[in-house]
Amino acid sequence: MQELDQVQINFDSDNLWVLNIALAVVMFGVALGITIDDFKSLFRKPKLVLVGILSQFVLLPLVTFLFIYLVNPQPSIALGMMMVAACPGGNISNFMTHLANGNTALSVSLTAFSTLIAVFMTPFNFQFYGNLYEPTSQLLALVSLSPYELIKLVLLILGIPLLVGMLIRHRFERIAVKISKALKPLSILVFVAIVVIAFTNNLDVFNNYIHHVLVLGISHNVLAILLGLLVAKGFGLSFKNQKTLAIETGIQNSGLGLLLIFTFFDGLGGMAIIAAFWGIWHIVSGLILAFYWSLKTNKQESLA
């Protein structure tokens, strides 16, 4: 089992640059669909903001740490789980929330806000919990990860495209909306391309080790969804908002996680495999959940 901590997932440096640019373009496309009013609407309902931040950036990393402590996975897998938990929500959550008849406006607003604060919270949570757990702290010591370099990359991939995109949306709204619609499908295509390239170059590694992360990845994702649902319910939010928080907490930007893993950890086996699997699985689980809630809502409306 220790062998997986020493396996590297090969990812060509040229592909890594393409991935950097592609993710920045994706975030730019997301930002084109965000307005200042999205943030204003959140501050008009501060409870929703606080519950969303609590669920995604405070409790999810904490619960992930406790889950890791309980099941004691291989250090590289544990570090990959911490990376995924530290990332902001994925923008595909907006589509899933709409499909589930959740609060789409809240989903868009929380995705925007979480992306903004992820510039600082993603590096902080990853470093904090990674160093708190002894097996992963040893891996971090070997890599000599620079917090400054981590923040700089997250800022380049998330922060700058977000600010530039919002500025263009504010100045040229009609053009921004058209570009945003065209770029939306790119987010899914980019992640699929990342996984396909990684799988193609490392088919033997994935075949040999995927069973180590299968149950862990599914369990971690289900835990994240339940966490969002229960936190929202505990704070007395409506069922519509409970669904939204569940999806926002359970759908993570694993594409960003993979980029950070390939950049700073040279595609460390357990990290890359768990992040790649999470990215595939959370689309499956999110769509299943959204379809279920959609059918349930339609049935209730037809009986009303």
**What's the whole-model pTM score?**
0.79
Q: Comparing C-alpha atoms, which of 222, 239, 216 is closest to residue 289?
A: 222
The amino acid at 48: L
Under the banding of pLDDT at 50, 70 and 90, the label for residue 219 is: very high
Any idea where the domains of the chain sit in the sequence? 2-295
Mean pLDDT score, 191-219: 72
Could you tell me which CATH class the domain 2-295 is placed in? mainly alpha
Mean pLDDT score, 140-169: 75
Under the banding of pLDDT at 50, 70 and 90, the label for residue 138 is: confident
Count of residues making up the chain: 304
HSE at residue 219, side-chain half, CA atoms within 13 A, is: 13
Give residue for tokens 């640019």: 21
pLDDT 10s digits, 34-87:
777 766 766 777 788 889 889 999 999 999 999 999 999 988 899 999 999 998
Residue 62: how many other CB atoms lie within 10 Å: 15
Cα–Cα dist 143/183, whole Å: 35
* Tokens encoding 32: 């084109």
For every residue of 66-103, DSSP letters joined together read HHHHHH---HHHHHHHHHHHHS-B-THHHHHHHHTT--
CB 90 within 8 A of CB 184: no
